[in-house]
Chain A
């Protein structure tokens, strides 16, 4: 089982402020990293998949970076809005053999305060 750590576990942010949180994972045999957003009473929804060291992905106000050599990824949210309130999950995968599983972190629970 991969050791995947996300920090902080929870976060309260004032509406309009920017924030970021971290996903750490073993750097050996890295293949890809997924970020998911899970809103209450909904299904987890994919945000990004990143594979290359130095990758940066952006979706509206949300962006993510990847450092495969040191084994971490940051997720940034610019100008937080109430609809950003959710649990953000990361999941690295360590092989390219196909049909491999993801190992999810415990998530960062983000609450935006209006």
Chain B
């Protein structure tokens, strides 16, 4: 079974803190994604990576950065957390190639920024 894990299920941080959200997948997938989910807005893509050290901006990259130093790990970084970054964050991975391939999601991290 494909497994995508995220470092925390719940996280509480203060405004201005630097926040790291970690995602690890065990299926040797080339592509990895970070989304946020907010009520009424669906899953919105923040950043994605189609290979080690590669990154592409998604639809809402402002206030975020990412790191992909190893194939299995994709980190989302909030350089200076703000209250409007309170959200559910989901990581996903899929094999490279055509976009008809299935994405596999992690369990999500619910982040509260105070």
> Which residues of A are at the interface with B, using a C-beta cutoff of 8 A?
1, 4, 9, 31-32, 34, 42-46, 49, 51, 89, 93, 95-96, 98-107
Contact = CB atoms under 8 A, between A and B. Distances in A.
B89 interface: no
Contacts of B61: none
Contact of B42 (A89, A98, A99): A89
A101 B105 contact: no
B103 interface: yes
Interface residues of B, number: 31
19 contacts: A4-B42, A31-B100, A32-B98, A32-B100, A43-B105, A43-B106, A44-B90, A51-B100, A89-B42, A98-B97, A99-B31, A99-B50, A99-B96, A99-B99, A101-B33, A101-B56, A101-B58, A102-B99, A103-B59
A64 to B, nearest CB: 14
B98 A96 contact: yes
Q: Per DSSP, are chain B's interface residues mostly helix, strand or loop, or mixed? A: loop
Nearest to B96: A99
A42 B107 contact: yes
B103 A102 contact: yes
B105 A44 contact: yes
A43 B108 contact: yes
Given A31-B98, A31-B99, A101-B99, 8 more contacts: A1-B59, A42-B107, A49-B102, A96-B98, A99-B31, A104-B35, A105-B42, A106-B42
Contacts of A98: 96-99
A1 B59 CA distance: 7
A46 B96 contact: no
B33 A43 contact: no
Given A43-B106, A43-B108, A107-B42, A101 B97 contact: no
- Sorted nearest first, the 5 A-B pairs with minimum C-beta distance are A106-B42, A32-B100, A99-B50, A100-B99, A104-B43
